[in-house]
């Protein structure tokens, strides 16, 4: 009787010990995971600010953790591998989540920055008009807030709001350049700083800068129109392997089972994803033009 109950007692004792260890370290582990996720999100702080995302960083970290866990479950269900393969899927899911979140931030920030750049000519002309009728620089920026739309309204609203709190104008403008980096905005801030130190006709300088920006935008539109065919060809070349691979997986059950159900197939899928990402980046880098 004792010999029969001994294995059961050992198992129960082991389970109780593991449960006690789990509940003892769970809070500490959860705090470490949360702090690591928040630190990871803080690394994207500048992009989050440029993308104008108002959500708390703790909420963003929670979304990243949940998305990673969901991708990990999907990968485990699809692969149906052993414990080692399931464990290897976790960092892959985290890498996919991090990369996707970073690209989302970059794209949203780039769209907002482009819209801000397109509005900059109008902003310069509004400031110049305000200065010509006798307004101060701060009052001219208030005119920009009243007459323009986002993101110019919100960004110059931050500048005026900081000056209301006692922050010097040049410091507030430097912070604007950090949030919305562009050569035209850098020239605007430099012109304002030089004018406040040495004097001069700032309105005339801003008119010349607005004309320069208008000319550059015209050249950019011409370049986009002339390279549109090459851009579309690049997208087709990048998407072609994905559609061909999906077609083969759907029409060839033997190859689908080999790719999804074997370790060699998993490695081949990882190599395909890596090479596809490298190819897309290479095409985008080759087609990048700086004006």
The predicted-structure confidence for 221-232, as pLDDT tens digits, reads as follows 887 777 777 777
Verify cis geometry, omega within 30 degrees of 0, for the bond prior to 151: yes
- pLDDT surpassing 50 at residue 11: no
The predicted-structure confidence for 57-109, as pLDDT tens digits, reads as follows 667 777 888 888 888 888 777 766 666 667 777 788 888 888 888 888 888 88
Query: What distance in Å separates the CA atoms of residue 190 and residue 183, rounded to the nearest whole number?
Result: 10
Residue 55 is predicted with a pLDDT of 64
CATH code of 113-219, in short, is 1.20.81
Residue 2: pLDDT band (50, 70, 90) is very low
List the chain domain ranges.
2-110, 113-219, 228-286
Q: Is pTM, for the whole model, over 0.75?
A: no
The predicted-structure confidence for 257-287, as pLDDT tens digits, reads as follows 777 777 777 788 788 888 877 877 777 776 6
- In this structure, is the dihedral angle defined by the CA atoms of residues 265, 270, 274 and 277, taken in order, positive or negative? positive
């Amino acid at each position: 009787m004792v010999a029969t109950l001994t294995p059961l007692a050992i198992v129960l004792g082991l389970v109780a010990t593991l449960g006690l260890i789990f509940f003892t370290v769970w809070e500490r582990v959860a705090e470490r995971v949360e702090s690591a996720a928040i630190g990871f999100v803080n690394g994207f702080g500048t992009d989050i600010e440029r993308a104008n995302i108002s959500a708390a960083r703790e909420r963003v970290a929670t979304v990243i953790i949940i998305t990673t866990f969901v991708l990990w479950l999907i990968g485990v269900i699809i692969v149906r591998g052993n414990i080692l393969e399931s464990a290897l899927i976790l960092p892959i899911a985290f890498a996919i989540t991090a990369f996707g979140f970073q690209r989302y931030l970059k794209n949203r920030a780039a769209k907002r920055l482009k819209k801000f750049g397109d509005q900059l000519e109008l902003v310069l002309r509004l400031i110049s008009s305000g200065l010509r009728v006798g307004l101060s620089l701060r009052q001219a920026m208030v005119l920009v807030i009243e007459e323009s739309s986002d993101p110019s309204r919100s960004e110059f609203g931050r500048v005026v709001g900081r000056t209301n709190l006692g922050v010097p104008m040049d410091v507030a403008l430097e912070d604007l350049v950090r949030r919305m980096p562009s050569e035209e905005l850098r020239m605007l801030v430099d012109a304002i700083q030089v004018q406040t130190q040495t004097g001069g006709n700032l309105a005339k300088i801003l008119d010349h800068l607005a004309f320069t920006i208008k000319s550059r935008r015209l050249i950019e539109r011409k370049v986009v129109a002339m390279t549109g065919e090459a851009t579309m060809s690049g997208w087709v070349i990048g998407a072609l392997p994905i559609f061909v691979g999906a077609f083969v997986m759907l029409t060839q059950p033997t190859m689908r089972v080999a790719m999804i159900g074997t370790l060699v197939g998993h490695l081949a899928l990882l190599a395909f994803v890596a090479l596809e990402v490298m190819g897309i980046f290479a095409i985008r880098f080759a087609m990048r033009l700086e004006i």
